[in-house]
Structure 1
Amino acid sequence: MNEGKIIKFYREKYQMTQEQLGKGICSGTHISKIERLHTEYAPEIITLLSERLGINIEKELIKLNNIKKRLNHWHDVIVMQLLEEMDLINHELEQEDLIQISDYINLYKLLRVRYLLMHNLTEEALEIIKEIQKKEHKLSTYEANLFKHVLGIYYLAKHENPKAIQVLKSINDTDYNNKEYTYHLAVAYHLNESPVMAYFFADKSRRFFKEINNYLRVIDAEMLMAIQVKDDGDFKETIHRFESLIKSCELCHSPGRKAKVLHNLAFEYYRRKDYEPAKKFYKESMILKDIESNPYLLSLEGYIRSAYYGSLHPNEELLQLANEGLKTALKKNEQLYINLFTLLSYLIQDKEQEYHQYLSDYSLPLFKKFGFVYLIKRSEKELFNYCFKQKKTRRALKMAHILINQ
C-alpha cells in the first residue's frame, strides 16, 4: 500500500491537484482514496499515474523499503567513526526525498543530529532536537532511547556534564542495543571529576567496542580508563599504558587519536610538576593538530604553562605564544580559550593582581557556568592562596570553606 504514499508525495512535490493528476485516468476522489490507503485499485491505474508523474513506481518502492537498512548502516558507520563513509552516506540520504514519507523519518532525524554533533554543528543539531521534542511521545522505544543518547552527546558538546550524566543514565539497556552510550557516560563522569564511575563505564564501552571489532574506539575507551588511574606511587605503569596506546594509534594509522593520547600523557607529567616532559609531549600533540582548532589551543595552553612553571623558555617567547593563542581564540570567539590565554598573559607578565582579579571576575564564573570541574578547583585554590597571601582573611576563609566542602 506504499504506492499511495509515493503518489501523494510526488504529486505534492510537483504541485499538482488530485484532479490534474487523475485527468483522463480516474477521478480526483479516487486518487484521494488511493493516497489515504482507503481503497483497492487496479495496478494499471498506478502505472498510468506514475508515468504522468515521471517516476518508476517499482524503483521508488524499492528505495522506500531500503531506507531502514540504509539508516541502520549509517548508524553503524557513525558508531565506528568511519568519517569518509559517514559523510558519503549523509550526502546520499540528503538527496533521498522519500525519507520524508517513510516510517523512519524520526530515526533519520536522530542520526542526523549525531552527524551534526560529530562535525561540531551544535546550533543546527539543536534545531532538530527541538523539533523531535515536540513529538517525543510518538517515538518508538528504540528511538526514545536513541534520543536520550543523542541528547547526552549534545549536553557534552555544550559542557553541561551533569545534564549529560542524568539523561545517559536513564537509557534502558534492554531496549537499546547500542552500548556505545556507556563511552559518552564515561566521558561525562570524567569531566565531572568522578574517576571511579568514569573508569567503570569506560570499561563497559571497551568491552562493547571489542565485541563489534572496533579497535579505534577500543583505543578511545582505554585512553579514558588510563587517565582515571592515579597511581602516583608508580608512574612507570601509567607511562607504559600511554606508550602502548601510542603504538596502537600508529598501527591503526590514527594521528588524531595519537594527538589525544600525547596530550593526556603531557597532562599526567604536568600534574606531577615534571614540566620538561610535559612540554615535550604537549608539543608533539600540537604538531598533529590543526593550529586553529580547539584541541590545538588546549595543548598550546598546557605547553605554555609547562614551559613557564619549569622556566624552560624566556618569558618574552611565552608571552608571544600566549598572544597568538589569544588572537586565534578571539577570531573564533571561543570564550574558554579567551579566558585561558588572557590569564596566561597576566601570569607571564607577573601581573599578580590583574591575574587574580580577572580569574575572580570573569574566568571562575565562566568555568562554573560550563562545569569545567578541573578548572574550577584549580581557580579556587589559586584564589585561596592569593587571598591568604594578601591577608584578606575573610575572603580566604570563604574560599577555604568552599574547598573543604568539595
Structure 2
Amino acid sequence: MYEGKIIKFYREKYKLTQEQLGKDICSITHISKIECNQTTYSSEIISLLSKRLGINMELEVKKLKNIKQSLVHWHDAIIMQLIEDMEQINSELEREELIEISEYRFMYQLLRARYLLMKNRAHEAIKIIQQIQKIQNKLTPNESNLLKHVLGIYYLEKQDFLKAIQTLKEIQNEFYNNSEYYYHLAIAYCTLQSPVLTYYYAEKSHQFFKDMNNYLRVIDAEMLMIIQVEDDDGNEEIIYRFKKLIKSCELCNATDRKAKVLHNLAVEYFRRKNYEQASEFYKQSMSLKNPESPVYLLSLEGFIRSSFDGDLIANDQLIQHAEDGLMIAIRIKQLLYIHLFKLLLFLLKYKEKEYHQYLLNKALPMFIKSGYTYLIKRSKKELFHYYANNNLPDKALEMAHLLINA
C-alpha cells in the first residue's frame, strides 16, 4: 500500500520514467500497477526499485506512517500554546517531503494555517484556507470542522467578529473533538459586549482546558469569565480574583498572560473611576508588552484616558504619549488605534468640535463596520451629549433613537 505511493513520489521527484526505473527489474505495466496499488509484488522487486531510487523503503514507510502522529502532537502543542514543542514539530514537518502523498496532507495544510495565524501571518494563512476551500468535498468530517475553526480564528484576527461567530457556530461537535473553539467564540462575544454568551462559552472552554491540565489556557478562560461579572457594589471580590490570577501567571512564568490580567484589572479600576490605580496597572501592563504591538497600544490608550480623567499627568506629557501611540499605530498599520489616538489628541488639545466631527465621520463608521460594540455605544453617547449641550435637538434625538434601538 505505502510502497507504491513512495516509489511513485521519488520516481517523479528524480524525473524518471517508469521505463527508466524498471529497466532490467520489471515491466512498465508492473511498475504502473505497483504505483497504483493494483497488484501484489515481491519484496525483492521493491528492494531493487528502492536501491535504484537511493531510498531505504522501511525507513520511508515508517516516516509516512508517523505523519499522523506528528500532526496530532502538533495540534495539541498549538492548542496548549507550548511554543517550543510547536516550533520543533513545525520544523520537522516542513522538512518532511512525504506529506505531499500522505492522506493527512489537508490536515497538515489546515494546521499550517492555524500556526501562521498564531505567528500573526494572516495574509499567508488565508491563502492556504482559500486553497483548501476549493476542495472542501475531499475533506474528512474532522478536517471540515477544523477548516471552520481555523477560518473563525482568521476572522477574529481580522476583527470581523460577526463572521467569526457565524463560522465557529457551524462546527459540529460530533465530528470535532477540540472544544478550544468555545474560547474563540467567547472572545468574539466579549468584543461584541455580550457578557452572558461570553461567560457561557468561556466556562465551557475553561472546563476543556482544565480536563487537559492546560493551566495557561485555564488562566485565559478564567480571565474572560471574571471580566463579564458586573460588580456595581464596588466590593473587592473581583479585584481579589484578578490579583489571584496575577499570582497564577507568576507561578507559571506566563508574562504575556500577566500583562493581559494587569490590563483588565486596570479596566476594572477605570470603571470604578479609581483613575490612579487604573493608570498604575495600565502602566505595569505596558511594561510587559512589545511597544510595536496592538496590545501595547490598547493599554497605552487606557493609560492616557485614565491619567487625563484623573488629572494625574501634565497635559503636554499626555499629548506626547498620544502622538507616540499614533506613530506606532501608523507604523504597524492598525486602523483602530489610528482613530483612537487621533481622537485622544483632539480631546487633549480641547478641540471639542473637531473631536466630535472626526468621531461621527471617521471613527464611528469604522467601529460599526468592525463590530466594536463598546466603542459604538460610547461614541453614540458622546455624540448625544455633545448635540444636547450645543442646542442641536434634532441630532440629539437622532442619536438617542440609535442608542435605544441598539
TM-score range, shorter chain: over 0.9
TM-score, normalisation: structure 1: 0.98
CA contact (8 A) 2:234 2:272 kept: no
Counterpart code for 1:213: N
C-alpha displacement at 1:369, in angstroms? 1.5
Residues in 1 aligned to 2:30 and 2:388: alpha-carbon distance in whole angstroms: 85
Q: Match for residue 344 of structure 1?
A: 344
Q: Deviations over 1:259-308 (max 9, x none)?
A: 00000110111122221111000000001111111111110011011111
Residues in 1 aligned to 2:164 and 2:292: alpha-carbon distance in whole angstroms: 27
Q: Match for residue 56 of structure 1?
A: 56
State whether structure 2 residue 324 is matched by structure 1 residue 324. yes
Structure 1: state its 5+ residue gaps. none
Taking only aligned residues, the RMSD between alpha carbons, in angstroms, comes to 1.1
Counterpart code for 1:29: T
What pairs up with 1:394-405 in 2 under 5 angstroms? 394-405=394-405
Counterpart code for 2:207: R
Aligned length: 406
State whether structure 2 residue 22 is matched by structure 1 residue 42. no
C-alpha displacement at 1:34, in angstroms? 1.3
Residues in 2 aligned to 1:330 and 1:178: alpha-carbon distance in whole angstroms: 37
What pairs up with 1:2-401 in 2 under 5 angstroms? 2-401=2-401
> How much identity, in percent, do the aligned residues show?
61
Residues in 2 aligned to 1:344 and 1:354: alpha-carbon distance in whole angstroms: 11
Residues in 2 aligned to 1:392 and 1:126: alpha-carbon distance in whole angstroms: 46
Residues in 2 aligned to 1:390 and 1:28: alpha-carbon distance in whole angstroms: 89
C-alpha displacement at 1:63, in angstroms? 0.4
Q: Deviations over 1:192-211 (max 9, x none)?
A: 11101110111111111111
Other structure's SS at 2:173 match: coil
| Moved segments of 4+, more than 6 Å | none
C-alpha displacement at 1:155, in angstroms? 1.2
Residues in 1 aligned to 2:329 and 2:245: alpha-carbon distance in whole angstroms: 30
Residues in 2 aligned to 1:11 and 1:396: alpha-carbon distance in whole angstroms: 75
C-alpha displacement at 1:117, in angstroms? 0.9
C-alpha displacement at 1:27, in angstroms? 2.5
Residues in 1 aligned to 2:132 and 2:260: alpha-carbon distance in whole angstroms: 33
Once the two structures are overlaid, the 10-residue window that deviates more, 259-268 or 6-15, is 6-15
Residues in 1 aligned to 2:380 and 2:235: alpha-carbon distance in whole angstroms: 27
TM-score, normalisation: structure 2: 0.98
Q: Deviations over 1:15-59 (max 9, x none)?
A: 222222222222323212211112222221211111111111110
Residues in 2 aligned to 1:177 and 1:235: alpha-carbon distance in whole angstroms: 39
CA contact (8 A) 2:293 2:332 kept: no
Residues in 2 aligned to 1:106 and 1:217: alpha-carbon distance in whole angstroms: 27
Other structure's SS at 2:225 match: helix
C-alpha displacement at 1:158, in angstroms? 1.1
Counterpart code for 1:260: K
Residues in 2 aligned to 1:99 and 1:262: alpha-carbon distance in whole angstroms: 43
Structure 2: state its 5+ residue gaps. none
Q: Deviations over 1:294-350 (max 9, x none)?
A: 111110011011111111111100000111111111111211111111111111001
Residues in 2 aligned to 1:8 and 1:371: alpha-carbon distance in whole angstroms: 51
Q: Deviations over 1:76-123 (max 9, x none)?
A: 111110012101111110110111111111111111111111111111
Residues in 2 aligned to 1:198 and 1:111: alpha-carbon distance in whole angstroms: 26
Q: Deviations over 1:205-241 (max 9, x none)?
A: 1111111100111111100000000111133111011
Once the two structures are overlaid, the 10-residue window that deviates more, 174-183 or 93-102, is 174-183
C-alpha displacement at 1:152, in angstroms? 1.3
C-alpha displacement at 1:257, in angstroms? 0.3
Other structure's SS at 1:51 match: helix
Residues in 2 aligned to 1:4 and 1:274: alpha-carbon distance in whole angstroms: 71
Once the two structures are overlaid, the 10-residue window that deviates more, 192-201 or 22-31, is 22-31
Q: Deviations over 1:353-390 (max 9, x none)?
A: 11111111111111112111111111111111112222
Residues in 2 aligned to 1:95 and 1:368: alpha-carbon distance in whole angstroms: 44
Residues in 2 aligned to 1:83 and 1:380: alpha-carbon distance in whole angstroms: 42
Counterpart code for 1:223: M
